[in-house]
Copies of this chain bind each other. A is one copy, B any other.
Amino acid sequence: MAKFDLFQFVPFRLNRLAAEVSAALSDEYQARYGLDIPEWRVIATLGFRDDACSAQFISQCTRTHKSTISRAVTALLERELIERVENEDDRRAFELRLSAKGHALYEELIPRLLHKERDILSCLTAQERKDFGAALGKIERSLNLVQTRHGHKAGAY
C-alpha cells in the first residue's frame, strides 16, 4: 500500500488549520467583545447584508445548526446587539437586524478581523493568495457550499 501520510492528508490539514485560525481570531471577538463563534456568525451575517434576514437564513449560509443560531440570537437580543421584529408575511419567522449598538460593534470589529486575516495570509504572495482563494472557491462549489446572490445555498432550492 502507498504509505499514508497524515500530515499530507488534506482533510486533516484543513481541520487543524481551521481550528488554529479560529483560535487566533477568537482573541478578537471573544476576549475583546465577549462573542462566541455562533454569535459572531450572526453578527457577521447581519452586518454583511443590508436588509434583515431570518434565523433560518443565517443557519443555512453559515452552516450552523438552527438550535445553535437560536441560542446565539437569544443572547444577542439580551445584549441588545440585534433587533427582532415580526415578519408580517410569515409570522413563524422573525426579521433580524443589527441594532445601532450592534452595528457599531460590527464596524469596530471588522477591521481587526481583516487585519488578522491579512496577517495569517501574509506568508503568501499576492498571486498565491489569489490562487488559494480560487482553489477554495472551486472546492466549495464542488461541495455545494456556495451561496447565490440571494443568499441561498446553490442546489438547495
Contacts and interface: CB of A to CB of B under 8 A. Distances in A.
Interface residues of A, number: 59
A145 B47 CA distance: 32
Given A14-B14, A18-B18, 17 more contacts: A4-B44, A4-B47, A6-B48, A9-B44, A9-B113, A11-B21, A11-B24, A11-B116, A11-B117, A13-B140, A14-B17, A15-B22, A20-B145, A120-B139, A124-B138, A128-B135, A131-B132
Interface in A1-53: 1-2, 4-22, 24-25, 41, 44-45, 47-48
Contacts of A111: 1
Q: Is the interface of A mostly helix, strand, loop or mixed?
A: helix
A63 B114 CA distance: 25
Contacts of A14: 14, 17-18, 21, 136
A128 B131 CA distance: 8
B48 A136 contact: no
A147 interface: yes
A62 interface: yes
B133 A132 contact: no
A114 B16 contact: no
* 9 residue pairs, one from A and one from B, having the closest CB atoms: A123-B142, A18-B18, A14-B18, A132-B135, A4-B110, A11-B21, A15-B18, A6-B48, A6-B44
